[in-house]
Structure 1
Amino acid sequence: MGKWEGKIKGYDQSNHYIGTYRALIEKQGEVLYKMSLSFDLNIHIERKHKLDSYLKEETIYSSSLVVLKRKFRAATLLKIKSRVTWRKNS
């Protein structure tokens, strides 16, 4: 079974780096995939933010890997984002 890890950097309206979104996609059984989302807050930021305040959902299920990869970008709430990078872990 393969695992996919995706990352995207998030920025605020002033184009300052806020943190990195991470997604981990794992195959659950024969046809179901589970995507776990997290947000790593930038430790250099002075403002206090709740860690989950930038995510719409934390776990998403689908039978399509392509759909989950597409939903990862939509699940983030910041307006300014970098390009998504995906890496397959064996």
Structure 2
Amino acid sequence: MVISIRRSRHEEGEELVAIWCRSVDATHDFLSAEYRVELEELVRSFLPEAPLWVAVNERDRPVGFMLLSGQHMDALFIDPDVRG
């Protein structure tokens, strides 16, 4: 699979939220169900407008994303179906 990185697009918001959900569900088993729901609501409110970098496959479909703060990565979420 060839992966490229580019800036996110507003219209990808729901797709990125879905990646966030799958990634968190696969890796964050320490979260309570209630807190997981609270986090998803927060993510849905800001993710579509956030300045994200998106990893896309050869069909330009998002498979992961990261949030940068200056030169530091604040968050990284990868679709579990494409993790190595």
- State the TM-score, normalized to the length of structure 2: 0.26
Which is greater in Rg? 1
- State the TM-score, normalized to the length of structure 1: 0.25
Higher helix share: 2
